[in-house]
A and B are shown apart, each in its own frame.
Chain A
Amino acid sequence: MKYKVVIGLEVHCELETKSKNFSPAINTFSNIPNENVATVDLGLPGILPVPNKEACRRALMTAMALNCTTPDEVLFDRKNYFYPDLPKGYQITQMTKPMGRNGYLDILVGKDIKRVYIHQLHLEEDTASLEHRSAYSLIDYNRSGIPLMEIVTEPCIESAEEAVRFLEDLRDVFIFLGVSEARSNKGQMRCDVNISLMEEGSKTLGTKVEMKNINAFTSVKDAIEYEIKRQTKILENNEKVIQETRRIAEDGKTYAMREKVDAVDYKYFVEPNIPPVPLTKEYLDSIRATIPELKLARYQKYIEKYKLSEYDAGVLSANKETSDYFEQVLSYGSDIDLSVNFVTTAILSTIKKLEIELKDLFITPKMLSDVINLVHKNDMSLDHGKKLLYKAIEEKTDPMEIVKRENLHQINDETELLALITTLMDENKEQVRQYVEEDNKAIINFFIGQTMKKSNRQANPNKSLEIIKIELEKRKKNNETK
């Protein structure tokens, strides 16, 4: 029997803000325990939460980018439960009016677009972190109160590949929007996976198994693939899948943690300390206006509008820095093919070699576009252009300065080239003789080399070649007629 895989994801992402979500403590990752904690984050008696405007803005912006509907006001709820990482005994979250509802994200799976539906997006606070040692556990409240966005998909993902692709693309959305760096190795992005199998053609969903708090995307893939195998085997043996929470271990297998007896009642109710703040159309519009074009849209634009290869489009839209850089180079009217060539080779290889980020590279998009224009106008060879660029990087000098200083414009003037080449032939009579009398074709290359050397590599190589050939032939004919 064939089974259809049904996966739903709950993705948590910490937002980058200066201060925490409900307190003025600094929001930053720290290895020094309990140094970024305000009264509110510790749940001391008498504390009151005051929501962070920027965190709300970022959550709303993400909701819009994910095509969600937004609420008419900011409102928070309490989720009540006891756990040592939850100092207040409740988490402030959103239930009544989440920042986003009913959205979607289009992802590219192979060559096809798959639409992943978003059930809701809400803003909440992170918990404290627990460190488990052999005989006891330790609580660090630094993480307590960091703004956390949760995105819940509909159960519409059908494979491990789709799940991972969605997570990668969602992370790109966060990064393109600039709301979070979403680094999973720092635990900034984590996800819960719900997975069930249903018989092909059936309309009833199978029993759901939940896997919580997976950091790495590769683990998500392993966990899903393992679960599909495990659950398929159970169903094929005509046994029942148990509704439970499982954890993923380092061996890539999943292990039962606890059976879900009955659902926990979190006794949600509206947070009475946070009066609703209306969201005006003007405010929402102003947020919408700051949303940049996202990755998939750029990729499609590069292929359809700029006619790039899928490969180049992929490289150039891979991250926002590269894509923004590339588009800025184009904004100066640079030739598209040359821009693609320069960015994908010279620029990207340089930052890789120097181990720096694009924003730290000395060459600005304007500088690069100047070099590209020189090459495009045939004022400089492609090869020469790249060398100029490397030199500019090395000297941390504007390439146009170098051009001016070293008089690097390409010699295209044929009279000038002819004079130069004639002089060279007069100076190298023996080589001319070898061509004329022995028909030694290698002599052509000798004179190209000499021309480039003498001209400081500024001579237009194609034109020089033409002239050298003509001049040598001329001398050969003269010799024959003599």
Chain B
Amino acid sequence: MYRGLNITQLRDKIDNEGISPEEIFESTNKLAHQLQDEYNSFVTIIDKFKMKTTNKTLLSGICYGLKDNISTSNILTTSSSNILKDYIPVYDATVYKKLKNAGAVLVGKTVLDELAMGGTGTTAHTGIVRNPWDKNRMIGGSSAGSASAVALGIVPFAIGSDTGDSIRKPASFGGVVGFKPTYGRISRYGLFAFASSLDHIGTLTRNVHDAAAVVDIIKGLDPNDMTTLKDDNKNYVSSLENDIKGKKLFYIKEICDKKLYQDSNDEVMLKILDEFHKMLDKLRNQGFIIEEVSIDKQLLEALYPTYMSISCAEATSNNANLTGIQFGPRNDGSSYQEIMMKDRTLGFSELIKRRFILGSFILQKENQEKLFLNACRIRRLIVDKINELFKDYDGMILPASGSIAPKFDDSSEKLSEKYLILENHLVIGNFGGFPSITLPFTMIENMPVGINLTGRVKEDDLVLNMANYIEKVTGLSDIYSKVGDSNEV
């Protein structure tokens, strides 16, 4: 009954039509259960309505989903891994606390790729997440359940995390808006760390306004997270309609030039690039200045290995607390070593273990200089290059992906020698902590495709403002999959 309504529409129901948040919750809960078997958005669905009414905010009484790698006291938080399958935290993440205090209503903890290390939505301990637009396809990850819960119209927003592209890629595959603000804008306290220097918390919504509305609530300095930024005392919703005439964007030739892909028979990719350039023309007509820039291909090709090096190195250390001693499975053993070995051997899937070994190897004394520190050096070269361009441009615009959501059988999480920069450039946003947003801009073969806009550090308001205009041009706001609807034809 309330399926697919955005925050503004739900606000109207509650404030002007006298519908109680509890009624909306009941209906949302029912829908979540109904779609769970087929799409598997949630690890835990909350069945009891709970709402704090002390503060009246834009999110009072609004239902949402929270990625299951965010700490919620007394609510199971698994990070979609067997090693945490029974873990019930004793403390609240800052983002959860802020949403609770704002009166938002938690509907469920959403499925992710195990420990957020993956981009397919297929590695959770509770099974694969399916794409609402085509259940034979994946939705991408790691914020798979958050993206699918929003794309299914169950909740108007969900919280995700993004270390390489974990919000912005599934947003592209799922036809929703995925926003990762500046590093430090939202506290990471309570977010189970994957790679601390790249991890961001962000939102999945069905329009840009809702992304701004949610971030307005959850942003801010947190004494528990030293990397958070001072409050910018801005209201992002109120700057959405600012004039964008004359705003300058660039796209990268080495990623978007169709001539580079002359030999390719990947028609979907070629179509995406076509549509992308058509969209740029439409945006130019709206007053954006959009230019092509060129970046050393060697640097762009280094993006993926650099990301792998840094993220795996940090991840192997960040997850060293998962030994089963202070929390976790605690298998039997005659020594602590035996317990740790058993817990970790049984608790992690193969992919995770491979990433940990890689990360640990990269950090070894004899490899650190060449593998880890060189990756950190490339990171600087790339970020410096983008910052240099941001002296002239207000943002970088690129296709979020060169493909529509892949089918389950044609992708693998194994590292391969062949990869496209087009598929891996979103990580630039994590390297430099830039605010970055993906929103749907076209449909190809009935599947959504996202466009990505990345802006200067701390200019979250401008990125949302520009994205809001792009959304007006795409006309693809508030789309969702109506599968399972009784009225569905």
A and B in contact, CB less than 8 Å: yes
Query: Interface of A with B (CB < 8 Å)?
Result: 39, 42-51, 78, 80, 82, 84, 87-90, 139, 141, 265, 267, 269, 272-275
Residues A39 and B227 in contact in the complex (CB < 8 Å), given A44-B327, A48-B189, A89-B321: no
Residues A46 and B317 in contact in the complex (CB < 8 Å), given A80-B363, A265-B364: no
Residues of A within 8 A of B364 (CB): 265, 267
Indicate if B314 sits at the interface (CB-CB under 8 A).
yes
User: Measured between alpha carbons, how far is A87 from B93 in the docked complex, in Å?
Assistant: 19
B193-223 at interface with A (beta carbon < 8 Å): 193, 195-197, 223
Q: Are B226 and A50 in contact (CB under 8 A)?
A: yes
Q: Are A273 and B196 in contact (CB under 8 A)?
A: yes
Indicate if B243 sits at the interface (CB-CB under 8 A).
no
Q: Mark B276-308, 1 if CB is under 8 A from A, else 0.
A: 000000000000000000000000000000000
B40-82 at interface with A (beta carbon < 8 Å): 69-71, 77, 79
Residues of B within 8 A of A88 (CB): 320-321
User: Measured between alpha carbons, how far is A252 from B164 in the docked complex, in Å?
Assistant: 57
11 contacts between A and B (CB under 8 A): A45-B322, A46-B93, A46-B193, A48-B189, A88-B321, A265-B364, A267-B363, A267-B365, A267-B368, A269-B363, A269-B372
Closest to B188 in A: A48
Q: Are A84 and B325 in contact (CB under 8 A)?
A: yes
Indicate if B146 sits at the interface (CB-CB under 8 A).
no
Residues A89 and B317 in contact in the complex (CB < 8 Å), given A39-B91, A45-B79, A267-B365: yes
Q: Are A269 and B313 in contact (CB under 8 A)?
A: yes
Indicate if B84 sits at the interface (CB-CB under 8 A).
yes
Q: Are A50 and B223 in contact (CB under 8 A)?
A: yes
Residues of A within 8 A of B226 (CB): 48-51, 273-275
Residues of B within 8 A of A89 (CB): 317, 319-323
Residues of A within 8 A of B84 (CB): 45
Closest to A50 in B: B226
Residues of A within 8 A of B223 (CB): 50
Q: Are B321 and A48 in contact (CB under 8 A)?
A: no
Q: Are B326 and A42 in contact (CB under 8 A)?
A: yes
Least CB distance from A79 to B in Å reads 10
Query: Interface of B with A (CB < 8 Å)?
Result: 69-71, 77, 79, 84, 87, 89-91, 93, 188-193, 195-197, 223-227, 313-314, 316-317, 319-323, 325-327, 336, 340, 360, 363-365, 368, 372
Residues of B within 8 A of A45 (CB): 69, 71, 77, 79, 84, 87, 89, 192-193, 321-322, 327
Residues of A within 8 A of B340 (CB): 82
Given contacts A46-B193, A51-B226, A273-B226, 12 further A-B pairs with CB under 8 A are A39-B91, A44-B91, A44-B321, A45-B322, A80-B316, A82-B340, A84-B336, A89-B321, A90-B317, A265-B364, A267-B363, A273-B225
Q: Are B365 and A87 in contact (CB under 8 A)?
A: no
Residues of A within 8 A of B69 (CB): 45-46
Least CB distance from B363 to A in Å reads 4
Please list the 5 inter-chain residue pairs (A to B) with the smallest Cβ-Cβ separation, ordered nearest first.
A89-B320, A272-B197, A267-B363, A272-B196, A43-B321
Least CB distance from B377 to A in Å reads 13
Partner of B189, one of A46, A269, A275: A46
Residues of B within 8 A of A46 (CB): 69-71, 89, 93, 188-193
Q: Are A272 and B190 in contact (CB under 8 A)?
A: no
User: Measured between alpha carbons, how far is A39 from B189 in the docked complex, in Å?
Assistant: 11
Residues of B within 8 A of A39 (CB): 90-91
Residues A47 and B189 in contact in the complex (CB < 8 Å), given A272-B197, A273-B196: yes
Residues of B within 8 A of A275 (CB): 226-227
Q: Are B90 and A80 in contact (CB under 8 A)?
A: no
Residues of A within 8 A of B372 (CB): 269
User: Measured between alpha carbons, how far is A256 from B93 in the docked complex, in Å?
Assistant: 47
User: Measured between alpha carbons, how far is A339 from B77 in the docked complex, in Å?
Assistant: 69
User: Measured between alpha carbons, how far is A139 from B336 in the docked complex, in Å?
Assistant: 12
User: Measured between alpha carbons, how far is A51 from B223 in the docked complex, in Å?
Assistant: 11
Closest to B339 in A: A84
User: Measured between alpha carbons, how far is A90 from B321 in the docked complex, in Å?
Assistant: 8
User: Measured between alpha carbons, how far is A47 from B226 in the docked complex, in Å?
Assistant: 11
Least CB distance from A413 to B in Å reads 72
User: Measured between alpha carbons, how far is A479 from B377 in the docked complex, in Å?
Assistant: 113
Residues of B within 8 A of A82 (CB): 320, 323, 340
User: Measured between alpha carbons, how far is A272 from B316 in the docked complex, in Å?
Assistant: 13
User: Measured between alpha carbons, how far is A377 from B340 in the docked complex, in Å?
Assistant: 77
User: Measured between alpha carbons, how far is A388 from B188 in the docked complex, in Å?
Assistant: 67
Residues of A within 8 A of B191 (CB): 46
User: Measured between alpha carbons, how far is A90 from B190 in the docked complex, in Å?
Assistant: 18
User: Measured between alpha carbons, how far is A44 from B189 in the docked complex, in Å?
Assistant: 11
User: Measured between alpha carbons, how far is A273 from B193 in the docked complex, in Å?
Assistant: 10
Residues A44 and B320 in contact in the complex (CB < 8 Å), given A84-B336, A273-B196: no
User: Measured between alpha carbons, how far is A265 from B368 in the docked complex, in Å?
Assistant: 11
User: Measured between alpha carbons, how far is A318 from B340 in the docked complex, in Å?
Assistant: 50
Closest to B344 in A: A82
Partner of A50, one of B71, B192, B224, B327: B224
Q: Are A48 and B224 in contact (CB under 8 A)?
A: yes
User: Measured between alpha carbons, how far is A372 from B193 in the docked complex, in Å?
Assistant: 67
Closest to B360 in A: A267
Closest to A87 in B: B326
User: Measured between alpha carbons, how far is A45 from B115 in the docked complex, in Å?
Assistant: 11
Least CB distance from A95 to B in Å reads 12
Residues of A within 8 A of B190 (CB): 46
Residues of B within 8 A of A78 (CB): 317
Least CB distance from A76 to B in Å reads 11
Residues of B within 8 A of A49 (CB): 226
Q: Are B363 and A273 in contact (CB under 8 A)?
A: no
Q: Are A267 and B71 in contact (CB under 8 A)?
A: no
Least CB distance from B462 to A in Å reads 24
Least CB distance from A412 to B in Å reads 69
User: Measured between alpha carbons, how far is A84 from B326 in the docked complex, in Å?
Assistant: 9
Residues of A within 8 A of B363 (CB): 80, 267, 269
User: Measured between alpha carbons, how far is A265 from B320 in the docked complex, in Å?
Assistant: 15
Closest to B197 in A: A272
Q: Are A43 and B326 in contact (CB under 8 A)?
A: yes
Residues of B within 8 A of A272 (CB): 195-197, 314
